A and B are shown apart, each in its own frame.
Chain A
Amino acid sequence: MGLVSLRRSAGCVLAGLLYLFAASGVIADTKPLKLNTTADHSKFKELQREFQSGPEVTKACLSCHTEAAGQVHRTKHWKWEFLNPASGQKLGKKEVLNNFCISIASNYSACTSCHVGYGWKDASFDFTSEENVDCLACHDTTGIYKKPPGLAGHPQLKDVENPPGSGKITKGIDIAKVAQKVGKSSRDNCGSCHFYGGGGDGVKHGDLDSSLAAPDKDLDVHMDATGLDFTCATCHKTSSHDVAGSRYTPTAMDKGGAHMRGKEDKSNPATCVSCHDTAPHKQDARLNTHTGKIACQTCHIPEFARGGVPTKMSWDWSKAGERDAEGKQIVRKDAKGHIIYESRKGAFELGENVKPEYFWFNGDVNYTLATDKVDKTDGVTRINWLGGSPDDGKSMIWPVKVFRGSQPYDPVNKTLVKPHTAGNDDTGYWKNLVWDKAIEVGMKDAGLPFSGKVDFVKTEMFWPITHMVAPKEKALACTECHSKSGRLAGITGIYIPGRDANSLVDTFGWGIALFSLVGSVGHGLMRIASRRKHEEKENG
């Protein structure tokens, strides 16, 4: 007995020793080594301190990354300005207006919460300032870095009672922690602005919303978090802080072919073709005959807003301004709890799993600016419109989210207007619900004339759809287009088998077939009749 237990305990000790060696070996191997970066920023002295503001963090960043701010200064993300080389139009967020929240003029402090900078609170913002570049917006990995509207792009670092006197405390963020954990841009970084365009999750684009932060394969075959796990930058290949692929100069038809390492490629790296080339269907080569006229997105994005987040489909500003019996602003929600009316904004229609509309698109996007004449009698004003025709050799059929709305305009000067909406002051529309004051302030800020008269005009915007690429099994079936009233029913200038037929040929064709049939039947009947007569005769 004693011997047995001695042996047992000896074995136990031996096993324990072995385990210890093994464990220490494990410890040596798992010395936390980061393989996704060469620099653990939490180890940098420059970042191991308290920071009082965003620009202080930026200064610390720039002490090593000396060229970064200068690189950012050259980009649309910083300038919010873009000169369209084809049309000569000066575009960019700073210039254009839309039919969502309309325009940033006089609303800077709210809108610039999505600017990659700090402190753009009015038109006097210094675009040459290096310390006002916001590194963290795009390089935060903690997911806690936020820039609330109203702070002109600054994060909230201190605890604040919001609204004042409510007792509700919004906590400030630990910016030092954010700074120490910076890394490569992820879907969450880009998404913190691009998922929320138009003032909320999924509002603007329809193919970009928070469901893409960690999507499954059905929602996006490339960004599938448990599969290919593309970040935005996998396609929007970024160089010197300049992100490729822009809505101001989209590539509608990519003749550049697939990009290859080592080869100098000047074409847009964010297109499907830049990886898949122009004949990507290996199993069914017949599908490749479509690639000359039909954008990949048309078949491979059967619907947008598929991730459970609805997108706005229309926005009627003319309905804004209602008040309840107590004179307070009203919010109405639909059965699912989504807002469909707000006194300060008007009436909305939302859509989930929306089938796009389809248009010929050659990559040209033109805008109706606040300086352009608008005529209400034209019916609908297109704030932007897509160039394209079946015959220009540059156009493809693209899926598009058409965003329809009604928004204020100046019926005397005949222009769209830029109202002052956001802001806790006497003129901001969202607080006061008075149009003429709000527009006067906004137009003044933009340096544009305003007659004082306000009317509403119907508007449309065109948003080509390119994200939320479905797995190939879920691409459009043939009959979605190859049928009489399919998705491409409205597309002209192209012959689609199954949809189109020459009616003259059809009439003539069925005519002669019928003629043969009637002739045959008639001839046959005459034969039968004559046989009867013949037989009667023979039989006597």
Chain B
Amino acid sequence: MKPAKILGPTLLLALLSVSLSASAYDADWKRGRIYYRSVCTSCHVALPVGQINPSSKTMAEWSGYLQADKHAKGKDSVKQYVSKSYRASIKSANKAAEKFADVPDQELLDDVKAFLVKGAKDGEAPASCS
């Protein structure tokens, strides 16, 4: 019985990841730019870390950061701050979260990633956070 229990979810996960990569979402860096500047920057102005310019890291650093998915030195995840539930929780006060309320999590994450990679120190168009 035990293997069957594990098999189900594993199979599902595998299928899901295949389906996701199959859909080949074409990331929208402009949407990522708005989300990054309106949501990420809106907190990082106040918090101790201060503003974080996309151009402050290299493309590799940004990819690694998003891959590791560790926000605030591992206290929580990055994905969480792009998730629908997070957006729903701040949408009354944040217009970008409201505007993109229904965008699938992975798409929005890809958008943000596209903006960060494009705007990275060694990216195609180094960008600031505002």
Give the Cβ gap from A202 to chain B, nearest Cβ, in Å: 14
Produce 1/0 per residue, B99-126, CB < 8 A to A: 1000000000000000000100000110
A144 touches B12 (CB 8 A): no
Once A26-B19, A144-B125 are accepted as A-B contacts, the answer to whether A9 and B5 lie under 8 Å apart by CB is yes
Contact partner of B33 (CB less than 8 A), chosen from A24, A211, A214, is: A214
Once A143-B29, A173-B124 are accepted as A-B contacts, the answer to whether A27 and B19 lie under 8 Å apart by CB is yes
Contacts of A227 in B (CB 8 A): 95, 99
Produce 1/0 per residue, A205-239, CB < 8 A to B: 00000010110110000001111000000000000
CA distance A227 to B98 in the complex (A): 10
Give the Cβ gap from B92 to chain A, nearest Cβ, in Å: 13
Q: Looking at chain B's contact residues, is the secondary structure mostly helix, strand, loop, or mixed?
A: helix
Query: From A15, which residue of chain B is reached at the shortest CB distance?
Result: B8
Q: Number of residue pairs across A and B with beta carbons under 8 Å? A: 75
A16 touches B23 (CB 8 A): no
Query: Is the CB of B57 closer than 8 A to any CB of chain A?
Result: no
B38 touches A225 (CB 8 A): yes
A12 touches B4 (CB 8 A): yes
A12 touches B8 (CB 8 A): yes
A23 touches B125 (CB 8 A): no
Produce 1/0 per residue, B1-21, CB < 8 A to A: 100110011011001100100
Contact partner of B5 (CB less than 8 A), chosen from A8, A26, A308, is: A8
B5 touches A27 (CB 8 A): no
CA distance A211 to B25 in the complex (A): 28
Produce 1/0 per residue, A142-176, CB < 8 A to B: 11101000000000000000000000000001000
Contacts of B125 in A (CB 8 A): 143-144, 146
CA distance A6 to B96 in the complex (A): 47
Once A32-B25, A217-B95, A225-B38 are accepted as A-B contacts, the answer to whether A6 and B12 lie under 8 Å apart by CB is no
A32 touches B95 (CB 8 A): no
Contacts of B22 in A (CB 8 A): 27
Q: Of A5, A30, A146, A226, which is in contact with the most chain B CB atoms at under 10 Å from its CB? A: A226
Question: Besides the contacts A143-B29, A188-B30, A226-B95, what 13 more A-B pairs have beta carbons closer than 8 Å?
Answer: A8-B1, A9-B4, A9-B5, A19-B12, A20-B15, A23-B12, A27-B23, A32-B26, A142-B118, A214-B30, A214-B37, A226-B34, A226-B98
- A sample of 11 inter-chain contacts (CB < 8 A) reads A12-B9, A16-B12, A20-B15, A23-B12, A26-B19, A27-B22, A142-B29, A144-B124, A186-B30, A217-B95, A226-B99
